């Protein structure tokens, strides 16, 4: 199975790929032998400039398509544009995200972080599904440690990332993978040194939290390089439906079993015994 999960020769689509972690994934996958790569992002000039830069090194393997992940029509059109260009998508990385709980931005952030991700995932599954003539593939959904721990100054962001985490865990049954050939992977990043963390206090849900992050208690940020290494490790080693953690510049860690164990008491409390028993047998 590990041989199947190789990067060489794969066609890859990355949302939010013009800068930050998305841009770093793009170059890392190209270095590892990706055949073609599509960068989707709302930042048109930055995206075009980055695609041009990559194409000088990687022999015109990259295209850029402007896409607002909060708009369903753009998602539909852009996904088809990539298919028209590549004919086949093997890997979809749902990386686009907004960390902004402020009054003017929280709804758009929710659309990008959650609904846009679900829309791309559904389109990816429809294209890759082996029972309908697809070739299978991998979908990587980017969540966060904010999906696991509470942050009262960014509750909307936490909720959207929790939705991403639970979506991946819920859809990734063994039967789903057997019938579709689509491997869903979820990665939870800790604080990472990208522009997403710049001026963070201005994006809290209420300004009374502006002193929550201060110079005497800084976030323990990991490097972009460490985060990218975790994604590559997850891609090469991750089992279908697995959830991975990347933080503190440590190697990526499969935390699926830890999450399963944490949920057992709640499942026993809320589900009929025959369902929980069958679930444990299937695992």
Measured CA to CA, the distance from residue 128 to residue 262 in angstroms comes to 32
- For residue 157, indicate whether it is catalytic: yes
Phi-psi region of 133 (alpha: psi -120 to 50; beta: other; left: phi over 0): left
Catalytic residue among 25, 50, 58, 157: 157
Distance between CA atoms of residues 249 and 256, nearest Å: 20
Catalytic residues: 157
């Amino acid at each position: 199975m590990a041989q199947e999960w190789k990067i060489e020769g794969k066609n890859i689509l990355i949302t939010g790929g013009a800068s930050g972690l998305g841009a770093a994934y793009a170059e890392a996958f190209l270095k590892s032998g990706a055949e073609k790569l599509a960068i989707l992002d709302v930042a048109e000039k930055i995206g075009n400039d980055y695609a041009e830069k990559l194409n000088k090194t990687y022999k015109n393997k990259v295209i850029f398509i402007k896409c607002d992940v909060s708009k369903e029509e753009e998602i539909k059109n852009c996904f088809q544009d990539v298919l028209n260009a590549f004919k086949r998508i093997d890997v979809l990385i749902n990386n686009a995200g907004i960390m902004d709980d402020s009054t003017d931005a929280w709804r758009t952030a929710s659309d990008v972080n959650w609904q846009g991700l679900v829309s791309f995932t559904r389109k990816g599954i429809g294209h890759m599904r082996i029972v309908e003539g697809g070739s299978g593939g991998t979908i990587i959904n980017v969540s966060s440690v904010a999906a696991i721990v509470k942050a009262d100054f960014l509750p909307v962001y936490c909720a959207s990332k929790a939705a991403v985490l639970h979506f991946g865990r819920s859809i990734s049954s063994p039967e789903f993978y057997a019938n579709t050939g689509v491997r869903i992977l979820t990665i939870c990043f800790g604080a990472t040194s990208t522009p997403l963390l710049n001026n963070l206090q201005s994006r809290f849900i209420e300004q009374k939290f502006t002193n929550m992050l201060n110079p005497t208690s800084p976030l323990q940020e990991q490097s972009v390089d460490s985060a990218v290494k975790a994604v590559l490790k997850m891609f090469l080693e991750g089992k279908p439906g697995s959830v991975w953690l990347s933080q503190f510049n440590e190697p990526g860690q499969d935390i699926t079993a830890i999450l399963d164990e944490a949920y057992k008491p709640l499942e026993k409390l809320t589900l009929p015994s025959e369902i929980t028993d069958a679930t444990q047998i299937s695992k």
